[in-house]
Structure 1
């Protein structure tokens, strides 16, 4: 980067929930932000470059200088039933797109300062006990564990070239405009609070603001490298989460939990992301000097819902 020139960030998946919030933060911090998308264009202060990882098509203008790439692109985990085709899309949209980004950087000799990749706490698989997973634990042997492992291995191609690489293993993201809260709170319209499975499964979560600030720290902090769990310090079970969510929304009718086998009948293998969980440690990101704006669930939910009134 030339002296006096603003730092430049290229984001894949920039039009998604996390990407839009992160773009706003980075623009506020003085960064030049560009997106990768199926269609090129200019949206406000953000230049959008065309790319299609499936067809290996990239905008010819992607030869300029970028200081950082943030890789957020990936087919939604919970949007569709996990058919064989959908599972292939979930994996390839993450792994193959990361590899294609690497090819673009190599081909155009883009001198990156860092490559920041999303990942998920699904990396660890699920656990019925209260074991707290940290970044040194191996990947789980289920579908999401495999996806996250291969996603991160694709990101490590950058690390092998001497580019600082950070992998953000993200928990359930709490935001006011979409995401899990919108889905969980739909029954509230009818005065109902619905719980899934035993309720004892842990739900690693993070406020969207903290997640974006962790990405910002990953850009700025040259000591950050490798995997970091992006989860709030407070561990809660599904029961505790739903009770807190009901309280903040002034709902009191809590139905008996929907048995796990019924959820499986409805959702198939995808039910595992609802009825199973894992407990994930935030210790490494805390030790790196990050201070959470919303370390506990009550403060996070109060902030989100106060913005909607």
Structure 2
């Protein structure tokens, strides 16, 4: 029988691409959703409600692996106190629901794989290259990612191989960062943000999905891994490269930091601050990134 992968957040940007890749690799996929769809021969939909702590237990019972992507979008709305609480609790509560369902059904899974973000190292500009062994930052981004990752610990305590994927900025055509920026840059209104010196750790959607596939198939994977390209991409370089892909040079001045701060409030730290990260831990496993050149990555994403 085919192995089954249960995905939370399976209808999102990463989840959609990952589902396609898993099916191509011979897996069946189960997706937890608040709005059920019709099943196909490869994809099965199950209802859940995190607030009510309800889940169709069959989803967990049939799963061989769980990939946990679900959670409030940290960049979707301003960081009001209520929004912050929703962001902080969303992944932890959903992971707890899956964990409780596993215990109640006495089910066994081979691995629990959870999304996190390179934001765990904080919204702090600096030259240091962050590795998985560094302590989490104590700002909102760092504390949020730390809480997401602590929700994985109960699975590890049960002897389940547990993997955490600390993701950078995901580049793809149909969603994510490029979808937001493309209309602006396509019509030659692109510019750098703030000082432009803030680092932007990025990753191609295909490479990210291949990392999740590696986490399923490679029993040596355990603990946290940075999923981003190790380079010196700053916001200035990112903006210049995207403009180049569209056939022009940046001509507009950078957007002043105070304008971004006024528009986004505390959330402005996400675009005005950034850290470099190391992917050496992944590479020691033998994983090879297919997309490490920013310009070629942008061209690939925007030509699809």
TM-score range, shorter chain: over 0.9
Return 115-124 or 40-49, whichever deviates more.
40-49
Return 24-33 or 227-236, whichever deviates more.
227-236
Return 137-146 or 39-48, whichever deviates more.
39-48
Q: Does residue 24 of structure 1 match 2:20?
A: yes
The residue number in structure 1 matching 2:30 is 34
How many Å separate the matches in 2 of 1:42 and 1:141? 43
Residues 39 and 50, structure 1, Cα contact 8 Å, conserved in 2: yes
Return 72-81 or 250-259, whichever deviates more.
250-259
Q: Does residue 59 of structure 1 match 2:56?
A: yes
Deviation at 1:43, TM superposition (A): 4.0
Q: Residue 299 and residue 176 in structure 1: after superposition, are their counterparts in 2 closer, same or farther (change >3 A)? A: same
Note the 1:262-273 alignment, pairs <5 A. Answer: 262-273=259-270
The residue number in structure 1 matching 2:9 is 13
How many Å separate the matches in 2 of 1:166 and 1:59? 24
Note the 1:158-169 alignment, pairs <5 A. Answer: 158-169=155-166
How many Å separate the matches in 1 of 2:17 and 2:75? 20
Unaligned runs of 5+ in 2: none
Residues 61 and 102, structure 2, Cα contact 8 Å, conserved in 1: no
How many Å separate the matches in 2 of 1:245 and 1:35? 34
Deviation at 1:205, TM superposition (A): 0.3
Deviation at 1:129, TM superposition (A): 1.8
The residue number in structure 1 matching 2:79 is 82
Note the 1:1-309 alignment, pairs <5 A. Answer: 5-44=1-40, 45-62=42-59, 64-307=61-304
Deviation at 1:60, TM superposition (A): 4.5
The TM-score, its normalising length taken from structure 1, stands at 0.95
How many Å separate the matches in 2 of 1:154 and 1:192? 42
Residues 170 and 176, structure 2, Cα contact 8 Å, conserved in 1: yes
> How many residues were matched structurally?
303
Stretches of 4+ aligned residues off by more than 4 angstroms? none
Cα deviation 1:105-148 (Å, max 9, x = unaligned) = 11111111000000000011023221100000010111111011
How many Å separate the matches in 1 of 2:302 and 2:60? 43
The TM-score, its normalising length taken from structure 2, stands at 0.97
Cα RMSD (Å) of the superposition? Answer: 1.2
How many Å separate the matches in 2 of 1:142 and 1:63? 34
Cα deviation 1:221-251 (Å, max 9, x = unaligned) = 0000000000013331110111111101113
Cα deviation 1:238-266 (Å, max 9, x = unaligned) = 10111111101113243111121211110
Return 295-304 or 24-33, whichever deviates more.
295-304
Unaligned runs of 5+ in 1: none
How many Å separate the matches in 1 of 2:57 and 2:277? 42
Deviation at 1:63, TM superposition (A): 5.5
Q: Residue 105 and residue 259 in structure 1: after superposition, are their counterparts in 2 closer, same or farther (change >3 A)? A: same
